[in-house]
Every structure is written in C-alpha cells, then in structure tokens.
Amino acid sequence: MGYFPFFMDIKGKKCLIAGGGKIALHKLKKLVPYEPSVKIVASEISAEFERFISEKDVSGYDICVRNRAFVSSDITGMDFVIAACDDRNVNAAIGRLCKEAGIPVNVVDSREESSFIFPALVKAGKLDIGISTEGASPEVAAAVRSQIASLIPANMEEILVYLNSLRPLAKETIADDSRRAAFLKDTARTCMDQNAVFDEQETRRRLEAYSSNELDTGKDNGRVVLVGAGCGSHDLITIKGLRAIRCANVLVYDDLIDKSLLEHASERCELIYVGKRCGRHSMTQEQINALLVNKAREGGLVVRLKGGDPFVFGRGMEEMETLRRERIHADYIPGVTSCIAVPAMAGIPVTHREVSRSFYVVTGHTASGALGEDIDFQILARLDGTLVFLMGLAQLAQIAKELVRAGKDTVTPVAVVHGNFDGTTVTVRGTLADIAERAAAAKIPAPAVIVVGKVVEIIQ
C-alpha cells in the first residue's frame, strides 16, 4: 500500500481520540498546533494527560473530554478518528466502525486496521514536514525527523512570517516579474543562511534596489563562512557546520576532511579542491585567498571547509583578514580540533587531575616544512603539562632530540596518534628516547598528533 502525503487544513475539523493514556496524548500533542476540534473519550485519563490539557498554552483550543467508555455513537459527525485505547480489541472495533461509516481512522500500532497513518512531524511556524515509512519502522521515521529538525534554523518561524509579509510588498514595489522572483528567492536564501531577518530599513533598501532597472543582481557580494570539519569521522562536524555545507553555493575544501561530507552539498553547489599536504599544494595560500574573494563576488554562500578547526594552525585568520579587507562578509563556525580529539580517541586525555593540569599546542613545522626556529624548547622542557605537537611527524626525531637537549628526561612518555575517518586510531607509544624509531617501524601515517607527557601512560 502507498500513502500519499496530503497536507490538509484540519482547523475546526471534528476529531475523536479514544483513549487517555500516553499514546493518545502523543497523538493529541501532534494535532493541537493545527487547531482541530477534539473530543476525547476514555474511561481513565492519565495525570499527565490532564496536566497537558489544563496548560495555559492549550486551554484556548477546542478540546472536550468525556471520562467514560467509548460508545459507537461517538464517531457520529466526526471528520477523522484516532483509536488509542489500551485495549486492542476496542481499537479494532473502532477501526471497523469507522471504515463502515467511511470515516478516516488511525488505529495505533495497526497499519492494517488504519485508513491513514501518522507521520513523524517537524513543525516550525508555517514549515511542516511529514516523514513516513508506510508503517514499516516508526523508529526510522523518528530518526530522520530528528536529523531534519537539527538542520532547520532556530528562527525559522520568524523567517517564514517575515518572508510571507514580503510578498505583497514586493508585488507593489517591483513591477518586473523576474526581478520580483529574484528578490524573493535571494531574500529567502539569505535569511536561511544567516538565521535572521532584515530590519525595516534594510528591507526597504533591498526592495528599492531590485525595483531599479540599474541593479545588476549578479554583482552583489555573497558571504563566506569558514567551517571547521572536525577531525576524523564525518559525524564530528557541528550541526551548524553541516547546515552551512547544505546551503553552500560554492564549497572550497582541503585534504584533511572526511570526503563523505561533500555528499551533503546540493547538486547546484560548485566543489573546489584546494588541498595542501606534505609540500604538495594544488594552490598557494594567496591563490586560495583570491579564490574566496572572487567566488564571494559572484554572489551566494561560499563555504571554506577546513579540517579540524580553522583557527588552530589552519590559516583561518589569514583568509578572514583578506575577506574583511575586501569588504566581504565572513563568518566562522568552529570545529573539533585534532589536538584534543585525536589523543582522546586513542584513550589519552590531554589533561587529568594530579597528572597534568595544563596542555600546550605547538606546530610541528613552518610554512617551509621545517621545524620552526622560534620554538623555545628550553621553555617547553620545563613545563609540567602535556605537550601536543601538530603536523610534526616528519620532524619527530628532531622534536624528541631538542626536548632531551633542553633537559626533558629521556624516559618521558610519548605517543604518536593517527586518526582515521572511520573513528579508529593508529597509536604508537614510547619515550623520548625511542619514539622516533618506534613510529618509523610501525609506519604510522601522516597526519599524526604527537603527545608528550605523563598522560600517555593513562590506559583506558
């Protein structure tokens, strides 16, 4: 059987809910925002049910409760019925009566006895999304609902009210049909991207700009968002970051991301690879900066997707400063950084009470690929906390040597951890005396995080 997802106006429609327990309440909560006239019949009404219908936000709705057993005449005049009693036999009887009378009925936990089913619902103001598996797995529908809900801007209700109010204004102000459509489309996308609406002054300015024959709508600058993709598995990205990817017109991405994140980009999105790894650069940093500026000037949303966090040795601020100099709006969405997460996935906390009360993050190489001459190993060797080196696998032997030369004990524990995109890790443990040899023997792949300190000895 196939269920077509009709969207019907049920405001004022007469609905019968037979049952006063948890399931009946769940159905009622789904219906209340759509304002039907609800009659509830049940021998027992749960305390939770009574509390809900007495709440201030619900008291204004047309809800009538009859504390008695169901009788066949209860379905008379009803537009639809929900059989949600604790007794399955009563539910089945209600289903038969409704089908004989031609009244749509939902019998809980019985697809065969129902003429319609309840979808998993997402509602945000005027946005309504229904998800159904045709009864095959309500759990799957609920899981998909949760994923969709997480991607909807928090201010969606306000955004939709605002966009709805623009339609008559646009019709009055913008005579050209194509320009009016472009205005409404552009405004909707911008509000979604920014999770906000324009004030009255900016709304009027945009209306006047689109009504002018001199406006070249393709020349307005877009905006750029620097998004941290997290480290390792794709599901470590933030919900806000994932939402940005799905809204992107252009996606500029690096090597150190889980490529499955690209599957979330829309079909219209332009994907541009600018990877830089181990001296092999598809683009220089200056070329990447120029690319972001040029793409932003074409309009729309440009997402700069970077592994880990853009501001942790990711040159994110260099890109941000370039965009600001060019007067292009730029935002930042943080990501899970490898200096904490990768060791943790291997069971190594960077801090632990009475073991390490601080940690220090150091870059393992400079732009030239060599160990930075400005790293003061004398200071690092005296620190009691955990030392974390990023991008330093090629310089591991030199890092260990310099720390020992500066006074760090040769038996100081060290771990080298590589994080895979499936959430697993490859870890080599040793000391400053032998870690370089152990890592080379294990052929641990780059990139890897180097952890120096007592926390390495903590085994989960």
Separation between Cα atoms, residue 163 and residue 291, nearest integer Å? 32
**Number of other CB atoms surrounding residue 397 within 10 Å:** 13
Phi, psi of 273 (to 5 degrees): -90, 130
Separation between Cα atoms, residue 203 and residue 219, nearest integer Å? 18
Tell whether the torsion through CA atoms of 304, 309, 314 and 318 is positive or negative: positive
Point out the catalytic residue in the list 30, 276, 401, 454.
Answer: 276
Burial class (CB in 10 A: 0-12, 13-18, 19+), 104: middle
Find tokens 């799905």 and name the residue: 246
Tokens of 371: 């160990």
* Angle at alpha carbon of residue 331, lines to 329 and 336, rounded to 5°: 160
Tokens of 319: 């890109």
Q: Where are the alpha helices (DSSP H) in 174-199?
A: 177-194
Find tokens 């524990």 and name the residue: 413
DSSP for 99-141 reads: HHHT--EEETT-TTT-SS-PPEEEEETTEEEEE--TTS-HHHH
Radius of gyration of the chain (CA): 30
Separation between Cα atoms, residue 445 and residue 441, nearest integer Å? 11
- Which residues share a beta bridge with 195? none
8 A C-beta contact, residue 165 and residue 126: no
Is 254 designated active site?
yes
Is 376 designated active site?
no
Separation between Cα atoms, residue 25 and residue 48, nearest integer Å? 8
Point out the catalytic residue in the list 74, 254, 258, 309.
Answer: 254
Which residue numbers are catalytic? 254, 276
